[in-house]
Amino acid sequence: MIVTLTANPSTDRTIRLDGPLRRGAVQRSLDTTDEAGGKGVNISRACLAADVATTAVLPARADDPYVARLAATGVPHRLVDLDGPVRVNIALTEPDGTTTKLNSPGATVATADLDALAGTLRELAVDAEWVVLAGSLPPGARTDWYADLAADLRGLARVAVDTSEEPLRCLVDRLDAGGAPHLMKPNGEELASFTGHDPDAVESDPELAAEAARTLVERGVREVLATLGPHGAVLVSAEGAWHAAPPPTTVVSTVGAGDSSLFGFVLGGLRGLDPAGRLALGVAYGSAAAALPGTTIPRPDQARPDLVVVRRLGSGS
């Protein structure tokens, strides 16, 4: 089973524009969709589509409209009651696939809410192969909470973390204290944020991305899956480094593509694939998601790892 935590869930509202976004102008939209989103929930939706057992853990009132949308997807979930509505995040997508996101902060959590979430995760982790901590933290949460969770859960199941900004920096600061997760999934910009490299250079140069990711492996992280947008992804572990170039993709929406990549990579491990195969499946899932509207999660038959080109990087040989 894959247990996911979405500490700051969101209704993902995607507004599809009829042309390039024009600031200050009146502009027509083609359509609007609302989906139960958040990084962990997206991964649980991918699990459901691939017939992988999952439980999504999140804070929300049972009567929140978000929960009704989540229930409609069929995703098994455990709620921690929260005094406040689930936020709405807005994505504006242009015909060429350019996506502009407007994310709201979310409802404020209290220490009791965090303790209840942590307790639910510990309970479920006993029977889980992976626990995935994903997304931003809501207002009121300590910025080192993911670091605490990773250290607490790593003895019960394999732990993956996909976050950014202060929660990511706190996690990185705690790696040397024995709290390293088994897997981290930064993107190029997030890698650059704690290595001092230029974000554009990291995203466009797989060797540089692997060099940055290797600093995390040297500090205890078993594997780093670094997604590089249109440049694919790199995988770095103690065994080496690999780069995967994505197949030709007509980008419709990038929302959820990174979450799909992380799921594809984990799914490859559940299938017993080697590192190159797991990386190929991760990039295939991310590319498939980018070709779909809104936060649509690809089905397994839509992911084409056979079209992904993987090469071992010389610096990791």
Q: Please calculate the CA angle 310-195-135 and round it to the nearest 5 degrees.
A: 75
State how beta strands 130-134 and 158-162 pair.
parallel
Percent of the chain predicted with pLDDT > 70: 99
pLDDT tens-digit map of 199-236: 999 999 999 999 999 999 999 999 999 999 999 999 99
Which tens digits make up the pLDDT trace of 178-198?
Answer: 889 999 999 999 999 988 889
Cβ-based burial of 236 (10 A; exposed 0-12, middle 13-18, buried ≥19): buried
User: pLDDT at residue 316 above 80?
Assistant: no
Could you list the active site residues? 259
pLDDT at 239 over 80: yes
Q: What are residue 130's DSSP bridge partners?
A: 2, 158
CATH number for 66:
3.40.1190.20
Confidence of residue 317 (pLDDT cuts 50, 70, 90): very low
Dump pLDDT digits (tens) for 101-126. Answer: 999 999 999 999 999 999 999 999 99
pLDDT in tens, 267-288: 999 999 999 999 999 999 999 9
Identify the pLDDT of residue 181.
Answer: 97
pLDDT digits (tens, 9 = 90+) for 26-40: 999 999 999 999 999
- Average pLDDT score over the chain: 94
Q: How confident is the model at residue 315 (pLDDT cuts 50, 70, 90)?
A: very low
Bridge partner residues of 161 (DSSP): 133, 184
- pLDDT value for 247: 93
Domain range for 155 is 2-316
- Look at the chain and report how many structural domains it folds into: 1
Between residues 99 and 305, which one has the greater pLDDT?
305
146 or 255, greater pLDDT: 146
